[in-house]
Amino acid sequence: MARLLVRLKLRLLGNGLHRSVQSALGLLASGLFGLIVGLAAMFGLAAGATGEGWGSTVILLFAAVWVGWIVVPVLTLSSDDTLDPRRFALLPLTARQLVPGLLAAGTVGVWPVATLLAASGVVLGMWRASGSLVATAIAVCAALLLVVVSVGWSRAVAAAASDLLSTRRGRDIVPLVAGVLGIAGFVVFQFLPGLVERVTVVELDGAATILRWSPGGLIGAAVADTANGSHGTALVRLAGAGATLLIALRGWVWAIGRTARVPPGRSRSEQAHGQLYPRLLAWLPRGRTTAVAVRFLRMLTRDGRARNQALSQFFILAPIGAGTIGTFVLELAPLYAAMVVLPFGLMAAAQLAYDGPALWLHEVAGADPLRDLLGRNLAIGILAAVTVATAVLGSGAISGSWLLVPLALVYAAAGFAAIVGVANAAAIIVPYPFPEEASNLFSTSSSTGAGCLQGIIVMITMIGQGIVAVPLLLAATVINGPTVRWIAAGTGLLYGLGMFAIGTWIAVRRANDRGPDLLLRIDPRTV
């Protein structure tokens, strides 16, 4: 069974190379990134083997790897549909038979290989520092055990949490937790260089003393004991880490037995049906454009997949924007607050991905790319209007620059039109899918490269939107004088509308007669 599932995983990776050019490029980019990270960690550990505090560094790094394998898959809701245990529900297989095979298949992919590469640094470092075959052999066992323990715990925790995270309440909690952790990580990253310079060996050892009792820390402590010549203690610690793996696998068996044959849970609010136009949007005229807008808004509030992607943009850009605004003159705060339109440009660039398989509804109803694009733009514009108005009015109240508030709103409208024009063109020219299933958390190391490719496309789109937004930013912050500012704002509004018209025209021309092709790219299951 293990051999069969490993072959199934390899076939999945192979199909990713042949499915489309985007999948192949994404997989190659993901593999290259994982290779760089793994090699950098490997050479770093190998080079520092003879330095003071190397053992504590290994403990902290191995514990961080173990925590990362548990936290990241759950927060990103990544999935590997082919190895979902529910796929094997009709076969005469028990959870005890599935778990070893799924564990073996979980060690196949980009990030398991990257983890092994990073951990192999302790092997090179041990050989470089001691030259002992016994110590090097223990380091080899530690590196291999780290990968297996990390994958096993990752799958077990994800499987145990799948019932909660597949509900609407769970999908509401995940992006909030991910956002808090993202902001905390951003803050830590800002202070990390200074902390590294001031940290002492005593403080490093103190942190390692606490983390050495985690499964990853136990393996790192075994390496540290081996470096100190305590081979017996190292073997005991490796045995303890192996025991924690057995506990995780037992929990994985229990979780599969509980949920593998049960469809993902749905909350009562998800099962409820109502009118398409809610009361808050009853003022919208009826038509295809507004119907698409209302459906898009409902999807953002109900579909955890779409909601997570939308909120992640705010959690990533909010601290950056706040820090940037704080460095400028307080009197111009309303003008800088208009920068909060940037996340909505990224949302517009992913508008087809938010639709997902539902994109076929637009084809069945009769292809009309222009009205569909305008409908999604209207939905995003409603969200942007509320957010921008709150930010600009709040900054105006704090700074007392109320006269700049109307000007900031005009610049925000101009910037929104400009970046959404770029986003419309990007959404049609380089469409990409989001993970379809948020409920399959049993197999979380898909390594198909879609996430890496998505990051590259988003980065290129951000660069394009930044280029078209530069004239507006300069006009808002450099030009002085109320009359000149209003003339520049009016010119900027015309500029933004022109960029919107050009981008939308390009998108509509490319989208005509390409509905089936776009659906194939957004919903790879149809291949």
Q: Of the candidates 362, 383, 347, which has an alpha carbon nearest to the alpha carbon of residue 291?
A: 362
177 domain-assigned? yes
pLDDT, tens only, 497-511: 999 999 999 999 888
Same domain, yes or no, for 328 and 241? no
Contact present, 405 and 470 (Cβ < 8 Å): no
pLDDT value at residue 527: 47
What integer pLDDT is reported at residue 24 of this predicted model? 73
User: Looking at residues 391-413, what average pLDDT do you find?
Assistant: 83
440 assigned to some structural domain: no
* Residue 362 reports pLDDT greater than 80: no
Structure tokens at 411: 């610049």
Q: Are 234 and 223 in contact (CB under 8 A)?
A: yes
- Residue 441 confidence (pLDDT): 38
pLDDT tens digits for range 202-214? 555 666 777 788 8
d(CA 312, CA 435): 15
Half-sphere exposure in the Cβ direction for 349 (13 Å, CA): 26
| Domain annotation covers residue 461 | yes
Q: Do 195 and 328 touch, CB atoms closer than 8 A? A: no
Average pLDDT value for residue range 290-315: 70
Q: Which tokens go with 34?
A: 């994982």
Domain boundary among 264, 298, 328: 264
CA–CA distance, 159 with 153 (Å, rounded to integer): 10
Q: Are residues 225 and 317 in the same domain?
A: no
Both 137 and 78 in one domain: the answer is: yes
Cβ-Cβ contacts under 8 Å for 463 (sequence gap 6 or more): none
Q: How far, in Å, CA of 237 to CA of 219, rounded?
A: 7
More confident residue, 138 or 205: 138
Domains identified in the chain, total number: 2
Judgement on whether residues 257 and 336 belong to the same structural domain of the protein:
no
Per-position b or e across 392-427, b if 16+ CB within 10 A of its CB: bbebbeebebeebbebbbbbbbbbbbbbbbbbbbbb
Model confidence at 342, in pLDDT bands (50, 70, 90)?
Answer: confident
Distance of CA 118 to CAs 45, 61, 126, 185, Å? 8, 10, 14, 21
23 & 143 share domain: yes
Residue 231 confidence class, pLDDT cut points 50, 70, 90: confident
User: What was the pLDDT predicted at 55?
Assistant: 81
Closest CA to 316 of 446, 477, 466, 462: 462
Whose CA is closest to 363, among 516, 523, 527?
516
For 2-18, how does the pLDDT look when each residue is reduced to its tens digit (9 = 90+)?
Answer: 787 788 778 777 776 77
- Of 213, 229, 264, the last residue of a domain is 264
Which of these, 46, 59, 213, lies nearest to 118 by C-alpha position? 46
Residues 446 and 31 sit within 8 Å (Cβ to Cβ): no
Asked if residue 188 belongs to a domain, the reply is yes
The predicted-structure confidence for 26-83, as pLDDT tens digits, reads as follows 777 777 888 888 888 888 888 877 777 778 888 888 888 888 888 877 766 554 544 5
Question: How far, rounded to the nearest angstrom, does the alpha carbon of residue 44 sit from its chain's CA centroid?
Answer: 26
Q: Which range of residues forms the domain containing residue 462? A: 287-435+452-526
- Of residues 334 and 308, the one with the higher pLDDT is 334
Indicate if 259 and 343 belong to the same structural domain. Answer: no
415/337 Cα distance (integer angstroms): 12
This model's pTM is above 0.85: no
343 closest CA partner among 314, 376, 375, 380: 314
- pLDDT at position 9 is 79
* Amino acid (one-letter) located at 388: V
Same-domain check for residues 218 and 296:
no
Would you say residue 174 has pLDDT above 70? no
Whether residue 106 contacts residue 445, with contact meaning beta carbons closer than 8 Å, is answered with yes
Question: What mean pLDDT comes out for the span 167-188?
Answer: 58
Last residue of a domain, one of 264, 298, 322: 264
Tell whether 274 is covered by a domain: no
In this predicted structure, the answer to whether residue 169 has a pLDDT above a threshold of 50 is yes
Q: What is the mean pLDDT of the chain?
A: 75
Are residue 161 and residue 300 in the same domain, yes or no?
no
- For residue 13, being part of any structural domain is answered with yes
* pLDDT per residue as tens digits for the range 473-491: 777 767 777 788 888 888 9
CA atoms within 13 A on the CB side of 467: 9
Among the residue ranges 27-31, 151-155, 272-276, 439-443, the one predicted with the least confidence is: 439-443
Q: What is the CA radius of gyration of the chain?
A: 26
| Alpha helix ranges (H) inside 444-514 | 450-478, 482-511
Least confident of 228-232, 293-297, 457-461: 457-461
Residues 251 and 132 both lie in one domain: yes
**Phi, then psi, of 347 in degrees rounded to 5:** -65, -40
Among 306-310, 410-414, 437-441, 444-448, name the most confident range. Answer: 410-414
Q: Say if residue 437's pLDDT is above 50.
A: no
Say whether both 179 and 253 belong to one domain. yes
- DSSP conformational letter for 434: P
By three-state DSSP, how is residue 240 classified? helix
CA dist 58 and 188 (Å) reads 20
The answer to whether residues 87 and 211 belong to one domain is yes
> What's residue 57's pLDDT?
83
Q: What angle do CA 437, 440, 443 make, to 5 degrees?
A: 120
- Report the run of H or E that residue 441 belongs to, with start and end: none
* pLDDT for the residue numbered 498: 92
